[in-house]
């Protein structure tokens, strides 16, 4: 069966991606401060065995929750708490400069829960203005950090600001992910609006774009509406890799798509 892949190009990405126009961790400086949340992960924690499911044969609509701009020891942990409460997994696109001794346990906890750990560049800069060598350095920094923590490579890349050019496609050997966003990087958008906007966009194969940046508590609250409502509608929550597999789309470094819906 011929596959239909909906590609959302960078020129219109501001309508679907909260990364546009907002720096990564620095953008949260005006957000209300939160007390530090201690990760529940310990050195003895081992990755949970995730039962292999044939999601294609399951016949349910699929959705992938993704989170940008972490990790941190507050909001990322709160997101993980909500995912764990509802028994679902997500995919986290990490900014390399936010991976540190204080946050590596949070990354490990996400991985141990069966979440997928992906790449959002080292510095969250506009990579369309970079040389191939600079782009590669941005990507490899995150890859090396993630591999140190999880033992696995990153499989997908979300370009900062969803800004892309051919130089980036040539330099990055991972599929590029956009996503259906709700402008949750803007503090003025309430938790209710975030949930409503997200639910209106979701259909089978949607990649949802949210942010676990420091202080983004309204997205944590929105998840408590988004997840149970989609479960009520019969959706199965999967990682980005599982979504590609279920839709029979090979993960390829030569892929020049920019994915928001996979199907």
Residues serving a catalytic function are: 68, 211
What is the Cα–Cα distance from 202 to 220, expressed in whole angstroms? Answer: 18
Pairing of strands 258-262, 5-7: antiparallel
Q: Are 206 and 243 in contact (CB under 8 A)?
A: no
Q: Which residues contact 57 (CB under 8 A, 6 or more apart)?
A: none
Q: Rounded to whole angstroms, what are the CA distances from 213 to 176, 185, 231, 252? A: 20, 8, 25, 29
């Amino acid at each position: 069966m011929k596959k239909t892949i909906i590609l959302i190009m960078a020129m219109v990405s501001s309508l679907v991606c909260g990364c546009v126009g907002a720096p990564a961790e620095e953008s949260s400086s005006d957000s209300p401060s939160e007390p530090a949340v201690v990760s529940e992960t310990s050195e003895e924690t081992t990755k949970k065995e995730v039962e292999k499911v044939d999601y294609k044969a399951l016949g349910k609509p699929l959705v992938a929750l993704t989170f940008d701009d972490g990790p941190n020891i507050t909001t990322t942990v709160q997101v993980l708490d909500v995912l764990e409460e509802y028994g679902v997994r997500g995919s986290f696109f990490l900014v390399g400069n936010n991976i540190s001794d204080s946050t590596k346990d949070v990354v490990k906890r996400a991985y141990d829960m069966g979440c997928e750990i992906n790449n959002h560049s080292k510095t969250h800069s506009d990579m369309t203005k970079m040389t191939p060598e600079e782009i590669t350095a941005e990507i490899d920094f995150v890859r090396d950090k993630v591999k140190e923590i999880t033992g696995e490579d990153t499989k997908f890349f979300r370009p900062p600001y969803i800004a892309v050019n051919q130089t980036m496609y040539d330099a990055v050997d991972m599929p590029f992910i956009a996503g259906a966003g709700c402008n949750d990087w803007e503090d003025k958008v309430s938790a209710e609006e975030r949930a409503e906007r997200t639910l209106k966009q979701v259909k089978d194969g949607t990649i949802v774009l949210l942010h676990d940046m420091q202080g983004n508590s309204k997205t944590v609250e929105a998840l408590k509406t988004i997840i149970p409502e989609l479960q009520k509608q019969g959706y199965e929550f999967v990682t980005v890799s599982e979504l590609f597999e279920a839709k029979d789309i090979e993960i390829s470094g030569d892929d020049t798509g920019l994915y928001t819906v996979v199907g």
